[in-house]
Amino acid sequence: MSDSLRYRIPLRSRTAIGICFSLLSIAITPADASPIQAAFSRINPDLSSEQQLDAQIGRRLFRRPWISAPASTQTVDGLGPLYNARACIHCHPHNGRGRIPATQEKPLSLVMRLRQPANKPDPKYGYQLQPFAIAGHQSEGYIAISYENIPVQFDDGAQINLRKPSYRINGLSYGPLNPQTEYSPRLAPALIAPGMLASIPASEIEIQADPQDNNGDGVSGEVSWVWSREQQQKIPGRFGHKAEIATLSEQVQHAFTMDMGLSTPLFPQHAGDCTQAQELCLSAPHGDSPQYDNLEIHQPLVNLIAHYLRHLTPPLPRQPDDPDVLAGKTLFTQIGCASCHRPSWRLGGQSIQPYTDLLLHDMGEGLSDGNAEWRTAPLWGIGLTEQVNGNTYYLHDGRALSLMEAILWHGGEAQPQRDAVLALDATQRDQLIRFIQSL
Ligand code: HEC
Ligand code: HEC
C-alpha cells in the first residue's frame, strides 16, 4: 500500500486525544473474548510502532460509546438527540455483521433508510429512522418485521425454505411518513479489511464494468458513481450495500452524523438526521466546541478511526487445500459466481482476495427495495460469521439464515447461476458451501 494512502495524524492531536483517554478511563466494550472473535479486528502487524499506536487509538474510538450534551466532558458528548446507536461497535460487533432484532426489540444494527424519489429524505423523519432518543426527546418509531416462508426445491427433490421479510414502522412519534417514502432496510455489514477495498484504483473498477453486457455473459456490472464530499467530484462508490459512499473517511463521518447524531467536518449538522419538522431536536443543546473546530467530531478523530479501518487485515482462508473445498472452488468458477464475486485484485505488489467486483448488479425483484441494484457482497471472512458473531444473518437485510438461502435469493443478472445451483446434487452443494465457508 502506498504511503499517500495513509493518513498522517499530527502528533499534537494524537497526544491530546491519548491524554483525554487516560484521564477519562472511559468504559469501552471489552476486548474480543477469544482469538477467533478478533479475526476481523487485526491491525496490520507491519505498521511502524507509531502507526500501530494510532490504529489502536482508532480502535478504542470505534468501540467507545458517546453520550448526550451537555456533559461534564466535551470529549465524548453530542450524541443525538435522535440516534440509532451510541458506538460504532454496537452495530458492527467484533467488526462483524449486525443482527436482526427479536420481536418487540428496538433495532440496533438494522438501519431503516427512508427514501423518496430522486433519493430525497422523508420530509419529517429524514434519511433514516432513529429508534432511540436522548432524555427529553421522542424516538421516531420502531421496525416490525414479519416473514413469509417460500419453499424452494432443488432438482433432486430436496427442499429449503426462504424467508421473505416485510416491514412496518410502528409507534411513529412525528406523524405519518410521507406516502411516497419507501423503506430500504440495511443490516450492518462486517468490516473486513475495508482499507484494502479503498485502495483498489478507481480506474481498475471502471475497466471491468460492463453495463451494456458487451461481452454477452449476462452480467452487466455498473460502477456506482457518487458525489464525493471529500474530493468534490464524482468517483466510484465502494462502501455500503449499494456502494453509495466513496471513501472511508466519508463513511466514518456519515456514520457519526446519521447513526449517532454527531457533527463532523463533512456533515456539520450537530442534530444529525433531525429535520425542520423536529424543532425540539434542532434546538437541543449540542456538543460543538471551539476545542474541536466547532464540531462534535473533528478531523483528527475521524482520521484516527479511518486509519484503524484502513489497516485492518482480512482473515486467512481456512483449509484451502481440502479436496472438498477445492471441488467447491471449481464449481464456484464453473457456475459463474466469480463473474461478480471477483476472486482477486492486485494492489501494487500484493494480491488481495475479497471476492467482489465492487460493482452494482440487478439482483431481481426478490431482493429489490424499489431498486434491485446491489453491490456484490465481498465474501472474504464470511465463513467466520458464526464464530465471530454467534449468528448468521446474510444479505443486505439479514433475511438469509444460511449461505444456501443467500445464494437462492440471487435473481436478475444472477438467475442463471442460481438455477445452476438448484441443479447441483447434494455432494456438490456441500462442496460449494464448504468452499465459501473456507473464505
Ligand atoms: C446504527 C448502526 C450503525 C452504526 C452506529 C455504525 N454503522 Fe457502519 N454501517 C451500518 C450499516 C447499516 C452499514 C451499511 C450501510 C449501507 O448499506 O448504506 C454500515 C456500513 C459501514 C461501512 C462500510 C462497509 C462496507 O463494506 O461497505 C463502514 C466502513 C462502517 N460502516 C464503519 C462504521 C464506523 C467507523 C462507525 C462509527 C463511527 C459506524 N460504522 C457506525 C450500521 C452502523
Ligand atoms: C450478478 C452478480 C452475482 C452473481 C453471478 C453471484 N452473486 Fe452472490 N451476491 C451478489 C450481490 C449483489 C450480493 C448482495 C445481495 C444482497 O445483499 O441483497 C450477493 C450476495 C451473496 C452472498 C451473501 C453475502 C453476505 O455477506 O451476506 C453469498 C453467500 C453469495 N452472494 C454467493 C454467491 C454464489 C455462491 C454465487 C454463484 C452461485 C453467486 N453469489 C453469484 C452478486 C452476485
Pocket lining: 194 vs ligand 1, CB cutoff 6 Å: yes
Report CA dihedral (75, 81, 82, 83) to the nearest 10 degrees.
10
Share of the chain above pLDDT 90, in %: 82
Q: What is the pLDDT of residue 103?
A: 80
Q: What is the pLDDT of residue 383?
A: 98
Q: Could you count the other beta carbons within 10 Å of the beta carbon of residue 252?
A: 28
Of the pLDDT bands very low, low, confident and very high (cuts 50, 70, 90), residue 31 is low
Q: Which of 54-58, 124-128, 134-138 has the lowest mean pLDDT?
A: 134-138
Average of per-residue pLDDT values in the chain? 91
Q: Which of 30-39, 57-66, 177-186, 379-388 has the lowest mean pLDDT?
A: 30-39
Of the pLDDT bands very low, low, confident and very high (cuts 50, 70, 90), residue 10 is very low
- Residue 101 to residues 63, 106, 119, 146, 389, Cα–Cα distance (Å): 21, 7, 26, 12, 14
* Spacing, Cα 219 to ligand 2 middle (Å): 13
Residue of 339, 397, 410, 415 with the most ligand 2 atoms within 8 Å of its CB, for mutation? 410
pLDDT surpasses 90 at 51: yes
Joined together, the cell numbers standing for residue 323 give: 479436496
Q: Which of 29-33, 346-350, 393-397 has the lowest mean pLDDT?
A: 29-33
Residue of 57, 92, 183, 309 with the most ligand 1 atoms within 8 Å of its CB, for mutation? 92
Pocket lining: 325 vs ligand 1, CB cutoff 6 Å: no
Pocket lining: 395 vs ligand 1, CB cutoff 6 Å: no
CB 222 within 8 A of CB 360: yes
For 216-238, what is the mean pLDDT? 95
pLDDT surpasses 80 at 100: yes
- Which ligand has its closest atom nearest to the C-alpha of 332? 2
pLDDT surpasses 70 at 7: no
For 173-191, what is the mean pLDDT? 96
Q: Is 391 left (phi over 0), alpha (psi -120 to 50) or beta?
A: beta
pLDDT surpasses 70 at 18: no
CB 195 within 8 A of CB 312: yes
Of the pLDDT bands very low, low, confident and very high (cuts 50, 70, 90), residue 348 is confident
Per DSSP, the chain holds a count of helices (H) and strands (E) of 14, 12
Largest CA distance in the chain: 68
Of the pLDDT bands very low, low, confident and very high (cuts 50, 70, 90), residue 74 is low
- Which ligand has its closest atom nearest to the C-alpha of 254? 1
pLDDT surpasses 60 at 362: yes
Atom of ligand 1 nearest to the CA of 256: 38
pLDDT surpasses 50 at 24: no
- Which ligand has its closest atom nearest to the C-alpha of 433? 2
Q: What 8-state DSSP symbol labels residue 377?
A: P
CB 99 within 8 A of CB 389: yes
pLDDT surpasses 60 at 20: no
* Spacing, Cα 321 to ligand 1 middle (Å): 34
pLDDT surpasses 60 at 274: yes
For 47-63, what is the mean pLDDT? 97
pLDDT surpasses 50 at 28: no
Q: What is the pLDDT of residue 70?
A: 78
Query: Number of C-alpha atoms within 13 angstroms, CB side, residue 401?
Result: 9
Of the pLDDT bands very low, low, confident and very high (cuts 50, 70, 90), residue 15 is very low
